Chain A
Amino acid sequence: MKSHRVPRRWFLASAGAALGCSQDTRPRLNAYNWSTYIDPAMLARFESEHGVSVRYGTYESNEEMLAKVMTGNSGWDVVFPTHSRLAPMARNGLIAPLDHKRLPSLGNLDPRFQRPEWDINLQWGLPYMWNATGVVYNREQVAEPRGWADLWNPALRGRLTMLDDAEDVIGACLQKSGAPFGSIDARQLQTAKADAVRQKGLLRAYLNAEVRDQLIAGDVLAGQLWSTTAAQAMAASPKIGFVFPIEGYPLYCDCAVILHESSRYELAHEFLEFLLRPDVAAANARVGETATANAAARALLPHNPVLYPEASVYRRGVWPSALPSAAQRYRDRLWTEIKSA
């Protein structure tokens, strides 16, 4: 998942670490994860199997988690950053390397995630759930879109949405014109900004997960959306469709990492090994209807081409990496310009 799959407005209200303290003397593992990313029954099973307690908290954006973890004494042992945050977190000494000897079930991972480009030796993070951004549409009222360019169709005026997310919106505008999703070229970014401003006249709003209800109700006919949210909308209404844009699209993978500050290195590995079990991974994927990185678990789950695109479609996807600080800042400015236009 990607930053704020659920509206970022909740960032203040999120449950966070407020689960309170228990009085038992069992060793305690502290896990901090995205919401709806774990089956509570699986946590209970881990507790009883290992004779430990788990303090479990949830967050809604990488930034919310990073703000706590950056302090170096957040009190969490295992967190789940998106793949692009692994390198910066490792550079800042926030995460401990994985010990593969303690993770014998690594082979359960989908071959795509055995040597991912962002962490080629799986040194820092255990791929957990993944997700893409694409185009969602109403099959009854709109012809099947092919890519991002179709989101500039004047016929969609007022019934079109884009994500409220700078990286995804600017990235889609870049890909529409054939530029790379993570471009830092000022000219390409200016073209993308001009496209975004032009599109804004057609837009109903910039919405994240909350667009789901309006898609189902038929208020919104097309838009940019995360595949996980789209799959939820499709499960609720057969008239919703989803395409992976022809120009390319971004992929995101959330990975379990063990924090450097953790004093429970072994227990944390046991937890990761537990998450790798096929039945556990399948149960966790079912809770939020998300795509697991665990191939052995997938065999236990129904096939869903939106969550698991076929090989030829998957090849068009890119895994964005963290941008250099100056480029990030330039994009933030462009985003403010787009929003103020």
Chain B
Amino acid sequence: MALFFLLPLVIVFACSLLTRGDYGGVEQPWTLESYLRILDPLYLAIFWRSLWIATVATALCSLLGFPLALFVARAGKRRNLYLQLVLLPFWTSFLVRTYAWLFILRDTGLVNTVLLRMHLIAGPLPLLYNDGAVLLGLVYNFLPFFVLPVYAALERLDPALAEAAADLGARPWPVLWRVIVPLSAPGIMAGAVLLFIPCLGAYLIPDLLGGGKTVMLGNLVQNQFTTARDWPFGSAASLVLMLLSALVLAGLVRSRVARELL
């Protein structure tokens, strides 16, 4: 099993240290050049941009996902139904769901048509092919990854704790901030990591909803293996991406909340 996971990684690592073949593939000699190229400001900017977008997407998901998880956890008998609804989008393909957003957001799409019919806007809003659309796609697709661990943490939370805080005079808002959120922090951290890592490597959503106008890490890697025919650089970039993800994970493991979780 370990071999099954490690072998492809070893091959990617070897590729990243070789020289680019003229028409794809890799050739001798061994070199560190691909790694040095990542330090080029052009590519560093792409790394930075991906980190930034993934961070914003994670923040947005937390804002939307926490109340949702709380709502589901407190839904009593309907809890399972709501949980199923959160997971419902996973029943269709990721690609199909992302294409569906194209039809919702485009000029003659659902949102613009409805707004135009209601005379709320004079012309179609530019909803598609910008960072907003990319963020929407990321939040929409990865929200369940955040909701599930947070829900699990909230569900285990003893309702008596919140009740005790209220009995001792805390208003609902302080109860939430000072009792519920700290106690569910491990779930929030786990959810944030589960969300952040796929956002960092996303390439389909920036391509489809961003209209190819931005480059994120995933697009950079994909392009190296296709049109640019530069396998070593693609391999090096994907390994650095992995390293970034691993650092985020390591940060979680070392944090105090994680120790409570484990």
| Closest-CB distance, B219 to chain A (whole angstroms) | 8
A-B pairs, 4 with minimum CB distance: A205-B211, A206-B212, A219-B107, A332-B228
Q: Is the CB of A205 within 8 A of B212?
A: yes
Identify the closest chain A residue to B103 (Cβ): A213
Contacts of A92 in B (CB 8 A): 23
Q: Is the CB of A70 within 8 A of B24?
A: yes
* Residue in B49, B219, B226, B229 whose Cβ sees the most chain A Cβ within 10 Å: B226
Q: Is the CB of A205 within 8 A of B226?
A: no
Q: Is the CB of B211 within 8 A of A204?
A: yes
Interface string of B19-46 (1 = CB under 8 A from A): 0111111000000000000000011011
Q: Is the CB of A332 within 8 A of B24?
A: no
Q: Which of A63, A89, A214, A325 lies in contact with B227, CB distance below 8 A? A: A63
Asked whether A63 and B42 contact (CB < 8 A) given A13-B95, A70-B24, A88-B22, the answer is: no
Contacts of A264 in B (CB 8 A): none
Contacts of B207 in A (CB 8 A): 7, 9, 164
Q: Is the CB of A8 within 8 A of B215?
A: no
Contacts of B220 in A (CB 8 A): 336
Apart from A164-B207, A210-B102, list 8 A-B contacts with CB within 8 A.
A8-B226, A61-B226, A63-B226, A206-B211, A206-B212, A207-B211, A214-B106, A336-B215
Identify the closest chain B residue to A200 (Cβ): B213
Contacts of B204 in A (CB 8 A): 9
> Counting CB contacts under 8 A, is A328 at the interface?
yes
Complex: how many Å from CA A214 to CA B211?
Answer: 13
Q: How many residues of A contact B (CB 8 A)?
A: 43
| Closest-CB distance, B59 to chain A (whole angstroms) | 23
| Closest-CB distance, A146 to chain B (whole angstroms) | 26
Binding site for B on A (CB under 8 A): 3, 7-9, 11, 13, 61, 63-64, 66-67, 70, 85, 88-89, 92, 158, 161, 164-167, 200, 203-207, 210, 214, 217-219, 325, 328-329, 332-333, 335-337, 339-340
Contacts of B24 in A (CB 8 A): 63, 66-67, 70
Q: Is the CB of A219 within 8 A of B230?
A: no
Asked whether A339 and B213 contact (CB < 8 A) given A219-B108, A325-B22, the answer is: yes
> Counting CB contacts under 8 A, is B196 at the interface?
no
Q: Is the CB of A339 within 8 A of B214?
A: yes
Q: Is the CB of A336 within 8 A of B226?
A: no
8 contacts between A and B (CB under 8 A): A3-B227, A8-B226, A9-B204, A66-B23, A205-B211, A205-B213, A210-B102, A336-B223
Complex: how many Å from CA A212 to CA B38?
Answer: 36
Contacts of A335 in B (CB 8 A): 223, 228
Identify the closest chain A residue to B227 (Cβ): A166
Complex: how many Å from CA A63 to CA B208?
Answer: 20
Identify the closest chain A residue to B229 (Cβ): A63
Contacts of B223 in A (CB 8 A): 332, 335-336
Contacts of B102 in A (CB 8 A): 210
Asked whether A217 and B107 contact (CB < 8 A) given A9-B204, A11-B226, the answer is: yes
Asked whether A340 and B107 contact (CB < 8 A) given A63-B226, A205-B129, the answer is: no
Which residues of B (137-173) have their CB < 8 Å from a CB of A?
none
Q: Which of B42, B95, B128, B210 lies in contact with A340, CB distance below 8 A? A: B42
Contacts of A89 in B (CB 8 A): 23
Q: Is the CB of A218 within 8 A of B108?
A: yes
Complex: how many Å from CA A13 to CA B45?
Answer: 30
> Counting CB contacts under 8 A, is B89 at the interface?
no
Identify the closest chain A residue to B22 (Cβ): A325
Asked whether A336 and B42 contact (CB < 8 A) given A205-B212, A214-B106, the answer is: yes
Q: Is the CB of A204 within 8 A of B129?
A: yes
Contacts of A207 in B (CB 8 A): 211-212
> Counting CB contacts under 8 A, is B126 at the interface?
yes
Asked whether A339 and B42 contact (CB < 8 A) given A63-B24, A217-B108, the answer is: no
Complex: how many Å from CA A168 to CA B105?
Answer: 27
Contacts of A210 in B (CB 8 A): 102
Asked whether A337 and B213 contact (CB < 8 A) given A11-B226, A70-B25, A219-B107, the answer is: no
Contacts of A333 in B (CB 8 A): 42
Identify the closest chain B residue to A332 (Cβ): B228
Asked whether A64 and B213 contact (CB < 8 A) given A70-B25, A217-B107, the answer is: no
Interface string of B211-245 (1 = CB under 8 A from A): 11111000110110111111000000000000000
Contacts of A64 in B (CB 8 A): 226
| Closest-CB distance, A254 to chain B (whole angstroms) | 17
Complex: how many Å from CA A85 to CA B215?
Answer: 27
Contacts of B129 in A (CB 8 A): 204-205
Q: Is the CB of B42 within 8 A of A158?
A: no
Which residues of B (90-117) have their CB < 8 Å from a CB of A?
95, 102, 106-108
Complex: how many Å from CA A239 to CA B102?
Answer: 23
Complex: how many Å from CA A67 to CA B234?
Answer: 14
Contacts of A88 in B (CB 8 A): 22-23
Complex: how many Å from CA A76 to CA B126?
Answer: 46
Contacts of B46 in A (CB 8 A): 336, 340
| Closest-CB distance, A13 to chain B (whole angstroms) | 7
